Amino acid sequence: MITTIQYNSRKLQIDLSKPLDISIPMRASKSNVNAWYIDEPKIEPVELDGWIGKVSEGAFVNFNNIQFNPHAHGTHTECVGHITKEFHSVNKNLKQFFFLAEVVTVAPEQEGEDTVISKTQLQFALGNKKRDAIVIRTMPNMKDKLSKQYSKTNWTYLHEDAVQYLVSKGIKHLLIDLPSVDKEEDEGELKAHKAFWNYNGKLRKDCTITEFIYVPNNVDDGEYLLNLQIAPFENDATPSKPILFKVLE
C-alpha cells in the first residue's frame, strides 16, 4: 500500500505494506543477545498460593512476569537520563516518532587493540544529506548479532569527534547495531554519549540513542522513513522497535 506523507517541506512516498523491522526480539534464553555481564532475561509464570499462571498447568490464561535490563538484553532507546544525576524519562522526552533517516554501512577501522568508527567515515557516508536520524550498520554484518554475547569483547565504538560531527549535522536520533556507542571499558568517560547529548551544555533532551539494532543485509543503504516505536516506560531507557520504510520518490 503506497502512500504519500508530508514530512516538513517534502512529500514522501512509502509502501506501508513493506515495513523493515530492525529490532532484535527478546527471549528468555541464554542465546538472547547480551552485554554488561548480567544473566539472560527471565520470562516465568506467576506462582501464587499454589496457582501457576500457565494454561498448560491448569490456569485459564498465561500470566508471566518478565525480568530484563533494557540496556543489556536487546534493542532499546535511551535518553539523556542515562548519564545524568537528574531523572529524565525517555517516555516523556520522545514526543515524535517519525523521522527521516539515512542507513549507512561502515567497516570499523583498527586503532591499536580497538576498532572504531571515525568522523571521516561518517562524513563520507552522509555527505551533504540532511537527516534527522542515522542508522549505522557495522561490518561484518552476520546473523550472530542476534544472539551474540558481547561482555568482555571490546566492541567497536564511535570516536567522540564522530558523534560531534553528527550533532553538527542536526542528527537527533542515533541508531547502531552495537551494545553501546562508547567503548566497553572506558572508566566511565562516556565520551560519545556525552557529546551526543551535549552533557556539558544545554542538554539535548529530545534526542535519543538506540542500541542493539540489527539491519539485515537485504536492507540497502539510503533514505528511509523511520518509525521509532518505544514501550512507555518511565525510565532512562526502554525496549524499542524501530521500523524503516524505504522512501520511493
Residues 37-79: tens digit of each pLDDT: 999 999 999 999 999 999 999 999 999 999 999 999 999 999 9
Is residue 54 situated within a structural domain?
no
Contacts of 96 (CB under 8 A, 6+ apart): none
Say yes or no to pLDDT of 105 above 90. yes
Q: State the Cα–Cα distance between residues 143 and 217, nearest whole angstrom.
A: 9
Q: Residue 124 has what pLDDT?
A: 97
**Residue 200 within a domain:** yes
Instruction: Please give the residue range of the domain that contains residue 214.
Output: 2-26+71-246
Task: Tell me whether residue 173 is in a domain.
Answer: yes
Q: What is the pLDDT of residues 115-140, one digit of tens each?
A: 999 999 999 999 999 999 999 999 99
Q: With bands split at pLDDT 50, 70 and 90, how would you rate the model's confidence at 223? A: very high
Q: Count CB-CB contacts under 10 A for residue 114.
A: 14
Residue 135 sits in a domain whose CATH number is 3.50.30.50
Residue 205: band (very low, low, confident or very high) from pLDDT cuts 50, 70, 90 = very high
pLDDT on residue 112: 97
Q: Which of 78, 72, 68, 22 is nearest to 43 (CA)?
A: 68
Taking only the tens place, the pLDDT of each residue in 1-12 is 899 999 988 999
Query: Does the residue 102 lie in any domain?
Result: yes
- pTM for the whole structure: 0.97
pLDDT of residue 1: 85
Alpha helices in the chain (DSSP H): 90-93, 119-126, 160-168, 191-196
State the total domains in the chain.
Answer: 1
pLDDT in tens, 144-186: 999 999 999 999 999 999 999 999 999 999 999 999 999 999 9
pLDDT at position 162? 98
- Please state, rounded to an integer, the average pLDDT across all residues of the chain: 97
